[in-house]
Structure 1
Amino acid sequence: MEIADKWIARGYPAAIVLRIVGVNEATYYYRKKNPPKKQREYRGGRKIPGYSFTLNSQLVSDEQIKEWLLELIAGEENIYGYRKLTRCLQRQYKLVINKKKVYRLCKELDILEPQRRVHLKHPRKIAINREITSSNQLWEIDVKYGYIVGEDRFFYLMSIIDVYDRMIIDYHIGLSCEGKHAAQLIQRALWKRQLFSGTTRPTIRTDNGPQFISHIFENICLEYGTEHERIPPKTPNKNAHIESFHAILERDCLSRYEFTSYQDAYRIVSEYIQFYNQRRMHGSLYDLSPLEFINELAAGRVKPFIVKV
């Protein structure tokens, strides 16, 4: 058909061209009048939503589920495959989830049963009990998930808090949250606290999330001389200060807004963190904000104390 069209367009008689290429005239003119419909491109099924539901219809992001999976295999559930891990998620977290999705998430994390026997480059250091007497001794990092109603997707807030002065030193807000973002967060926080010039570095405490077991995060901790310790599975109280901040954020900010866009969420959360650092009173800081407490402590107008973690 295309060859015939080309020669007919050059002015050759249609009847002669069709006879040469072996196409019946009736067929040619019928197809010209009724061109075949293009087949729809196969897109491989519906789009992966990026979240699941609990039995009480609460949204849970895939990143949170991945974190729970890592917590499970770091504990006594390490002996289970993806099918039994599915049952653990259903029982412990009341998730409505099937084994196919758990298999996919486990594959993305590279924690399917054969891969778990691979020797880790950075063995885990368990968080120990400490007494914190000043700023920049212990920082805690964790990830909080927020939902954007207008776009039907999650955004991620990764925050780093100083256990002593309660300041959110820095944070990452994005539509993804990976090990590289955690590494960049450490770098910015050390720069903001002017700790590159000194010899001492804070200890970094995290849970067992995928961002914090990544090679890029461990490598940056080694490069900057910061000790990285991870809390044991199912012990969020070991990360109590950043967990407390995220609970406050949920109550005072995230639960009060229905975000229409990512830009909307970014602006509102950033403004709240600025309020938290500069103006929100903390009972544990003599009813001062973190910034006010740091200034008052430096001037000697408040007494130092000990934080036991």
Structure 2
Amino acid sequence: MEIANKWIARGYACSLVLRIVGVHEATYYHRKKRKDHAPVNHKPRSGRPNTAYSWTRDQQRISNEQIKEWLMELVAGEENAYGYRKLAICLRRRYNLVINNKKVYRLCKELDILAPQRRINVKHPRRLAVNRKITASDQLWEVDIKYGYITEEDRFFYLMCLIDVYDRMVVDYHLGLSCEGKHAAQVLQRALWKRNLFETDCRPVIRSDNGPQFISHAFEEACEKFSVEHERIPPKTPNKNAHIESFHALLEAECLSRHEFVSYQEAYQLVGEYIRFYNERRIHGSLYDFAPCEFRQRLAAGQLKPFIVKV
């Protein structure tokens, strides 16, 4: 608006200036009229002021001081364990007051009678990711979600991949139009089965971010059922999940950005083909220039020197 006023004051046509700056003429004149009629010392309102009274359903006016007395009587009696929400219910039922929870909270705060908040016992406590030295496959797996877009259908699809930090192989993945905790649990179960880890006592640590799929009861219960330790990275620290983030960057550059998917079926086929290419044929610089599958085979045969991955 200020830029438009400046150019209009210089003599340029009002309609031309407003069209250039992208302001509708009706909007401009409405704001100009409101500004011209505003008081000199006008200050914008910061919200409706608090009232010093409330009303009953039969239109009797009750002062805040009287309401405070009733609140003190309630907390001194059988209702001493109630919080402000239940105290508001008591006021409405016992004294026929028309009062909302927000005002009862404010009055309780003024009286310093707010009940302390309960501590919620978390069924699955959060374990923060710690620094580790990975010396072999199946010690640490990272899992994350990538989004893709289907142009013709104007909708997104989800790709959840689980990657082994040591051999960089995508052990298993979920590709679908939805992605929930149950899908994460299924990916974990299939990955353990593919690596034959149900036959051993050694299970990998699963590292993820704090997405809803990974903090869900379904996924946490699956980790507990399969005797897998699940750790989560702190917020805003994607470097703690660097290997899966690196794979998703490759996927974006070499697959998703090169195709305009016309259907979900096409996206499912092309993304699946890329993951097979990545696992079986794509040269990986950190794996002695071998693909993840070939690296695993040569390492198992003793043809390559093991190394340490610090995460």
Asked if these proteins are the same fold (TM beyond 0.5), I'd say yes
Shift of 1:158: 0.1
Question: Any idea what the Cα deviations from partners look like across 1:157-178, whole Å, max 9, x if unmatched?
Answer: 0000000000000000000000
Instruction: Say if 2:192 is the partner of 1:185.
Output: no
- Identical-residue share of aligned pairs (%): 72
Structure 1: which amino acid aligns with 2:300? A
Question: Any idea what the Cα deviations from partners look like across 1:89-116, whole Å, max 9, x if unmatched?
Answer: xxxxxxxxxxxxxxxxxxxxxxxxxx99
Write the distance in 1 (CA, Å) between the matches of 2:167 and 2:270: 23
Write the distance in 2 (CA, Å) between the matches of 1:149 and 1:269: 15
Distance 1:258 1:195, change over 3 A: same
Write the distance in 2 (CA, Å) between the matches of 1:164 and 1:145: 25
Write the distance in 2 (CA, Å) between the matches of 1:280 and 1:134: 21
Instruction: Say if 2:247 is the partner of 1:231.
Output: no
Instruction: Say if 2:193 is the partner of 1:167.
Output: no
Write the distance in 2 (CA, Å) between the matches of 1:151 and 1:119: 43
User: With structure 2 as the length reference, what TM-score do the two structures score?
Assistant: 0.62
Shift of 1:120: 2.3
Match among 253, 259, 262 for residue 261 of structure 2? 259
2:155 maps to: 153
Instruction: Say if 2:124 is the partner of 1:122.
Output: yes
Stretches of structure 2 that go unaligned for 5 or more consecutive residues are: 1-116
Structure 2: which amino acid aligns with 1:291? C
Shift of 1:117: 6.8
Distance 1:262 1:116, change over 3 A: farther
Question: Any idea what the Cα deviations from partners look like across 1:55-84, whole Å, max 9, x if unmatched?
Answer: xxxxxxxxxxxxxxxxxxxxxxxxxxxxxx
Structure 2: which amino acid aligns with 1:142? D
Write the distance in 1 (CA, Å) between the matches of 2:128 and 2:146: 22
Instruction: Say if 2:282 is the partner of 1:280.
Output: yes
Write the distance in 2 (CA, Å) between the matches of 1:117 and 1:144: 35
Stretches of structure 1 that go unaligned for 5 or more consecutive residues are: 1-114
Write the distance in 2 (CA, Å) between the matches of 1:120 and 1:233: 19
1:307 maps to: 309
Question: Any idea what the Cα deviations from partners look like across 1:223-244, whole Å, max 9, x if unmatched?
Answer: 1000000000000000000000
Write the distance in 2 (CA, Å) between the matches of 1:264 and 1:280: 22
1:221 maps to: 223
Shift of 1:119: 3.5
What secondary structure is seen at the aligned counterpart in 1 of 2:197? coil
Question: Any idea what the Cα deviations from partners look like across 1:97-150, whole Å, max 9, x if unmatched?
Answer: xxxxxxxxxxxxxxxxxx997442111100000000000000000000000001
Structure 2: which amino acid aligns with 1:167? M
What secondary structure is seen at the aligned counterpart in 1 of 2:298? helix
Write the distance in 2 (CA, Å) between the matches of 1:190 and 1:116: 39
Write the distance in 1 (CA, Å) between the matches of 2:118 and 2:185: 24
Instruction: Say if 2:140 is the partner of 1:132.
Output: no
Match among 211, 214, 229 for residue 212 of structure 1? 214
What secondary structure is seen at the aligned counterpart in 2 of 1:196? helix
Larger radius of gyration: 2
What secondary structure is seen at the aligned counterpart in 2 of 1:303? coil
What secondary structure is seen at the aligned counterpart in 1 of 2:198? coil
2:78 maps to: none
1:83 maps to: none
Match among 247, 250, 253 for residue 249 of structure 2? 247
Write the distance in 2 (CA, Å) between the matches of 1:246 and 1:299: 30
